[in-house]
Every structure is written in structure tokens, then in C-alpha cells.
Chains A and B, each alone.
Chain A
């Protein structure tokens, strides 16, 4: 049943927070900070990302041709290309190659050394080879630790980062029983190097992945810091490289932006220690460690090497389909194939930083992009397990070197998962309240949050009774049972008088025009001659009406008349629940309701950053292009708009100003930050006499409905505590997003207003 799953999920997340959280957070946040630093100092970063994405778009488009090109190139070099349909096909082929190249002594098990490859994790190659009596050893230290521990990777790049040094030392001391117990990372590494070194020199076959495959020359690119991929590829006579078909790029010159980007995005290094461009079979001599006295260059490769490399070498390139060619045909999942497996989406994700890949992963892949990979290669059920951990904050989009819209992939998969569910027993409960465009069977909690506007309207109409009811114990228990709303979370208090009603009662647009004209006549600043439509998002309209009132008063004080019409929901809430059809309908309604204002040259001002983000980003997928462009160009975040007014000569003294040094701790909403709108609020605060300091924690953890949900409550608080820890010392704390404000008020036990409340005339009482 649904609620048992919810409770199990809560238990699982709690367990991961306790057991792996600290190690994961230390590593991912450090990598993420280094990535941020190296991105900041890379002059041509945007050009590199744009180039990289364009190359991937074209390569995926031309994939069938590229497969034929690489086949010709590798065969001309004397190697073999095998395109495997699925895991079983790939594993059988590799097992065959290994058996043919194993020792001639039947008593010896054939042996394989491997360099870390998520693609071989995807197909469970090790299990398949071992079932055939083949001995497989991982040579990447992290991957080897997992092999010894019989554990699974928790990160695309740092597969064992959930294990601390002490845990690895305990594991190795128990397994290898050394004379002196291992303690330091140095000791562990030295042991691993010697132990694995012997295994590599004895191996029959080396298996690697491939970060990129250059089609026209048949060049495999391997990116590593340890050097193990080099040893696996060149030490045994036979090398098998296994790569998803999407790793193909046309020519050597296409490789350049990726070599420049991959280490920056993965670990924040300018470039990896080893970028190996291998066009097998190579001229390098083969190494016969069982004939120690033979010169390495005395074989066929010595001296007079022919054009096709050392003749003792054998090379196989296995290109894996396993659902990828279908993903290529899928307009929504295709972008996943542009992924270069750098893990930047994981490192930049607040939730991932807390629970790691074992919470945020399917059968193989983890992190933000995992939803696309798992849905494509293992099916929707694998992706469904963790899909809801994406809160849509979009930090990962800025981190991604190929600009993949990962939150959108998560939204699409969520929508598909919603549709595949059986009708729920609780449908009747929410049916009356939910005028959405979704088919039956949607999780009632999702349906409730996706229709929060309707819920809020009803709750406001019946406030304060609805608030008393919602706080009552039995009601909270029912909300938890049916909708999954955690009873530890304070619910919003709905206002009887909505912002729209308040605005009408005080005289509507006519009164606002008079106030703006009075303000204009008082100061001799700029004559800005603008009119604003203030968008009453659900929360501002029914719950936090004070920030809406503050926005109206601030704009009027700066000489701008305001309208606050009753406008449709933006669709943000529906999008968060994966209800794309509902969001699509709402986007159309919003545009229709605002079209006349846009035509009249009025500016749309939005207070809630997530609603603005919907209009500026997701609407691109929901509205005709010209409608989208028109709304995007005509809409602004409230403090961004105030910044524009001040820049155009409006007088900040019309607002509530500080004394020039008054410290204010400011948390910008994550989507506001990814829209590059944090700086404007900071600038406005500075212009108005405050000394703002900003937070750099990824996210508040509340993220709309996320923190209300029972299974995510503890994770939400874990993420939130990192933010709260940065802000707690300040006298005044302000936050742009409603969720951020709610979360911080809970964690800091004090009021956390919107910055506009601080700035509006008749200053906020802190």
C-alpha cells in the first residue's frame, strides 16, 4: 500500500542520513565548491558548454552513421566493433572474448582487470563473467573497495565516497589481515597499488569503459586520475572497451571542449591527471610479465613497427544500445544521451549532498541525471524509486557542462510514473477539490499539492475555521495517512482576506494610481512612467499576504501604479508533482489573462521566485514561442524590478532605509539564484542602506511541497540546517521564497520576512 511504501522510504532515508550522510556531504560539497571556483575562472566557459552541447546534439542526431564510421575505422586498424542490443548480449560477447584469450592451461581461470566503468555496472558485467568462471578485479581504488565490500557505487565519479577512511581501513584489516593494521590513506593506497599491480601484470584481458569515442579515427578516450585505465588498456595483450553508443563523437577536434570541461565539472580540477587517447591496437609493446627477462621491445612491435601497431595486440570495442536508441527517439529523454557522466548534477544537489546515491539512485545511476538514465536503460520503475527526490531547484542545470535540463527530465518521468499508477483508494477525497487535467490513479498527496491553489482558495474562504481544523490532531493524522503530510510540519495559516480582496477594498487601481502620483509629486527623481501588474501567486494571495501588500506599497512609493487582478495559478505546483497536462492548461490561462496587459505595455511583477521561474523556463515548453517570449520579456522578480526603478533614477529614500551598515542576512531562493537574480536584491538592499550578507548553501530543503511530505521531512530538515547554520547569527534574516521563509522560520524560531517587507514604507517590525 502507498503509505507503507512512504514509511519505508522515510526509514530508508533516515538510515542513509545517519550512515552515509557525513562522508557524502564532505566529498560532494568539496567537489562542488571546487567546480564553482574553476568555472568562475574559466573565461570561455559558456562557449565551451555551448560547443559541447551542440556537438552532442549533432552526434546523437547522426548516431547510426557514426556507428558505421567507427566500425570502419576500428576494423581498418585491425580491431573489432560489436554493437550489443542489451546487457545479456554484451556480457556474452565479452565472456567469449575473455575465454578465447585466457591461459591455455585449463586449470587457470581466465583473469580480467577492469577500469571503473558505470556502463559495465549497468549491465552487471562482473556477475556475468564470474558466473562463467572468469576472475574479475576492479583496479579503480574506489571501485575495488566496493568489490571487496560487496557494495554498490553511490556516485558516478566517486563510487565509494560514502565510505570513510576508517571504514575502509576496518574492511581491509578484516579482509587482508596485514601484519600492521592499516590506518592512513597512504597505507591503504600503497597496499592497494602493490596488490592490484600484481593482478594487472598477470591479467589476460583488460576491460575499460570509454569517456568518448572518436568515430572517424576509432580513438577511445579514457579520463582518470589514478592511471589504472592506462594500465588496464595497455598491459594485457587484449583490450575490450565497453561504451554506450552515445559516447561517439565525429572527429578529434570535437573532443577538445570535452577534455577541457570534464574534470572541471567532475572534481573541479582544471584537467584530469591522465587523458588517454588510444587508437588501438597501439604501437606500444605488449608486456609479458611471465617472461621477465625478455626485452619489452623485442616483440613484433619493436623497432620496425608497422602501421597497425603491435601485432600481438587485440582490440574489441563493444558499443552498448540497451535502450539508448529508443531514448534517442524520445523527445523528452533524448537529452539524457548528452550526459558525459561527470557527476556535477549530484554534487550540486542539496538532497544528494545529504543522502548520496544510495537514496538518489536506481539500479546503477545516481544523482539528478539518473532519472533519465534509469528510465531509459532499466525502465520507469527503477527511476520511480527516487524521482521525487528532485525538487526542481535547478542548481544542476548551471552545473551541467552540456546544459541538460535535468529538472525537466525529472518532471517528465514523474508525469509518466503518475500515469502508470493504478487508481487510488483515496481518489474520492480529492476529486471534488481538484479540477485538474490528470487521469485517475494519481497519488492523492501529489494531486493535493498539484491543486494547492484550489485548496488554498477554499481554505481562505473558510478561515479561520479551516486553520483550526487543520491543526487538530485527528485531522493531522488523517492528512498524514491520506496525503502523506508530515504532522511535525507547521501548516500554512490561511488568511480570510486575500491579497486581491485587500487591494480591491483599498480602492484598486484607481487608488493605487493616486498614491503613485502623490509619491511622484513629492520627489523630484526620475519619472518612470510604468504600470505594474502584481502577480498574486497562491501563497502571496492566501497565506503570506503581507509580502504582497509590501510589494504594492513599495511600488507605489516609487511612483508606479499597481494592479492586482485575480489571476490563474502559474502551474508551478502542478509541475512539481509531474502534472504536466494541468500545468500546460494553467500556463495558457495565465498567458490569456495577461495578454492584454502585456499588449498595453504593463510590467508583470512576480514575488514568488518559483512562479517566475515557471514563466521564464518551463513555459518555453508549454506555450507557443512568441507567447513565451512576450511573457518572459515582460515579467520581473519584485526586487529585480525595484532595482530597475532605482537604476532609472527612482529615489531609495521613498523606501524604508537602513543606517548604511545595518546587517541583513539574505537567502535567495534557489531558482531565483539560477535565474541570476540574487545580485539585484543584494544591490537594492545596499542602495537602501543595509549591509546584506548572502548564504551559499545549496537550498533551504523545503522546496515547495517537498518538506511537507512525510518521507522527506527529515531530509528536508537536514538540508535546511546547513542553511540555518549560516544565517543564525544575524539580527535580521530575509528570504525571497515562501518555502525558504517557512523552513527558516521553523529552524531559526523567528520571523523571516521577504526582503520587500523590509524595504516597503512603514518598515517591517523585526
Chain B
């Protein structure tokens, strides 16, 4: 690939005040551990050799979900053009885990970062064909201007961090 898609993704996220980190699979668990604020909940990461830190609770109770400060989830793919991550509604709770806590840590494989919205729609269509028909394109942090000024973190997370697994 001649264009640096992850670089473009990173620049788009910078504009949204979202930090991106590139890590290898071997280092991922440790990096995630330093980023999460506890208590943390998460959906299992489907990347070979990458697991959630021990302190991140999977299959949380509703009380744990409500109390959590951080939610860690994998994302199906990301769209570099807009700094968007695609969160799939899976049975292990990725949707509520990415939504309820104030901090969302999104983990994506480098090979799943696509350049633009059109490429994103191609991936979306592939997912639909495979039965993954509920997806959220999340771009940056939850925001509102309804109270007179721009404020982040309303019903959704107020901070978002993105981890790109470089060797995937």
C-alpha cells in the first residue's frame, strides 16, 4: 500500500482529540493495562495472542457495567478518512461496553483499517452478508451543544483511545 492509511486514521483522530497507539500483538495486553482506568469491563479480543488484561472484567453484571470507568472492545474495522471505528453488536456485549463507561478503548487490527467511507461500506456489506447486521460507526467522543456550549461525554464516552495492532 503506497498510502499510509493508519497515518491518515491517526490524523483524523487527532482532530477529534482521540489518541491512537500502534502496538504489536505481543505488547498489546500490557499497553491496554496502562490505558484503562479501573474499574474496567471488556468484550473478549478475537486477535490471536492478544488477551484482555486480568483486571478487565468480561461478561460483566449490569452493576459492573454501570460502575465501570473504562470499556475495552474490539472493533470490526476502522475508517481512516473520518477516524471512525465500527463496533458490532455482538452477544458478548461490545455495544453496551463501548457505550456506557466514560472511557472507550477500541482495539483494531492494522489490516482492518480501510481508507475511506466507500471501503467501509464494502466491509459493512461483507459483514451484513455474514449475518453481522448491527453496527455502529463511532467517530470521536459523545458530544452535545444543547446546553449552550460544546460538551463531550453525554450518553456515550467522554474519552476514546484507539489501539492499532500493527502486526495483524
Contacts and interface: CB of A to CB of B under 8 A. Distances in A.
Nearest to B136: A276
Interface in B123-163: 124-125, 128, 131, 133-151, 153-157
Most chain A C-beta atoms within 10 Å of own C-beta, residue among B94, B124, B137: B137
Interface in A197-214: 197, 200-201
A360 B90 CA distance: 44
Contact of B154 (A193, A284, A291): A193
Most chain A C-beta atoms within 10 Å of own C-beta, residue among B94, B121, B143: B143
A78 interface: no
A140 B151 CA distance: 14
A285 B59 CA distance: 10
Nearest to A289: B62
B144 A226 contact: yes
A188 B150 CA distance: 12
A199 B24 CA distance: 42
A318 interface: no
Given A271-B84, A278-B134, A225 B142 contact: yes
B155 A193 contact: yes
Contacts of A230: 95, 99, 136, 155-156
B118 interface: yes
A288 interface: yes
A277 B136 contact: yes
B59 to A, nearest CB: 5
B107 interface: no
A296 B96 contact: yes
A130 interface: no
Interface string B82-122: 10100001111111100100000000000000000110010
A185 B149 contact: yes
Contact of B63 (A27, A193, A275, A293): A293
In the A-B complex, the 9 residue pairs with the closest CB atoms: A165-B148, A227-B156, A292-B63, A279-B133, A142-B146, A185-B149, A227-B155, A141-B146, A305-B91
B60 interface: yes
Interface in A212-247: 217, 219, 225-228, 230-231, 234-235
A166 to B, nearest CB: 8
Contacts of B156: 226-227, 230, 273-274
A287 interface: yes
B66 interface: yes
A139 interface: yes
Contact of A292 (B61, B96, B117, B154): B61
Given A217-B128, A283-B91, A201 B154 contact: no
B66 A201 contact: yes
Contacts of A259: 117, 137
A129 to B, nearest CB: 21
A296 B61 CA distance: 5
Contacts of B60: 295-296
A186 B125 CA distance: 39
A517 to B, nearest CB: 59
Contact of B139 (A201, A273, A284): A273
Interface string A305-348: 10100100000000000000000000000000000000000000
Given A189-B154, A277-B136, A283-B89, A288 B149 contact: no
Contact of B61 (A166, A283, A294): A294
Contact of B91 (A142, A193, A293, A301): A301
B141 A256 contact: no
28 contacts: A141-B144, A158-B146, A168-B147, A185-B147, A188-B147, A188-B148, A225-B142, A226-B143, A228-B154, A230-B99, A234-B89, A252-B124, A252-B128, A259-B117, A259-B137, A271-B117, A273-B143, A274-B138, A277-B124, A282-B89, A285-B91, A289-B62, A289-B66, A292-B66, A294-B61, A296-B59, A296-B61, A310-B91
Q: Interface size bucket, A side? A: 35 or more
A704 B99 CA distance: 52
Given A189-B154, A256-B121, A296 B149 contact: no
Nearest to B156: A227
B144 A189 contact: yes
Contact of A253 (B62, B121, B137, B145): B121
A168 B144 CA distance: 14
A234 B118 contact: no
Contacts of A291: 62
A164 interface: yes
A196 interface: yes
Given A230-B136, A253-B125, A225 B59 contact: no
B139 A272 contact: yes
Nearest to B58: A297
Interface of B: 59-63, 65-66, 82, 84, 89-96, 99, 117-118, 121, 124-125, 128, 131, 133-151, 153-157
B125 A285 contact: no
Given A141-B146, A227-B156, A288 B59 contact: no
A200 B156 CA distance: 13
A47 to B, nearest CB: 12
B159 to A, nearest CB: 13
A295 B59 contact: yes
Contacts of B141: 273
Nearest to B99: A230
A160 interface: yes
Most chain A C-beta atoms within 10 Å of own C-beta, residue among B62, B66, B121, B131: B62
Contacts of A255: 121
A282 B95 contact: yes
Contacts of A275: 136-137, 139
A679 interface: no
Given A145-B146, A271-B84, A285-B93, A252 B155 contact: no
A256 B63 CA distance: 37
Most chain A C-beta atoms within 10 Å of own C-beta, residue among B66, B146, B148: B146
A235 B155 CA distance: 12
A274 B136 contact: yes
Interface string A180-191: 000011101100
Given A252-B121, A259-B137, A273 B142 contact: yes
A310 to B, nearest CB: 7
Contacts of B131: 307
A287 B66 CA distance: 10
A303 interface: yes
B91 A302 contact: yes
Contacts of A279: 133-134
A279 B128 CA distance: 10
A288 B62 contact: yes
Nearest to A31: B145
Contacts of A307: 131
Contact of B89 (A188, A189, A284, A288): A284
A267 to B, nearest CB: 8
A270 interface: yes
Nearest to A216: B128
A192 interface: yes
B148 A185 contact: yes
A298 interface: yes
Nearest to A291: B62
A566 interface: no
Contacts of A285: 91-93, 96
A261 to B, nearest CB: 11
A99 interface: no
Contacts of B137: 259, 271, 274-277
Contacts of B84: 271
A252 B125 contact: yes
A154 to B, nearest CB: 12
Given A296-B59, A297-B91, 5 more contacts: A234-B96, A271-B84, A277-B124, A277-B134, A295-B61
Nearest to B160: A273
Contacts of A231: 99, 155
A280 B99 CA distance: 18
B141 to A, nearest CB: 7
Contacts of B96: 234-235, 284-285, 287, 296
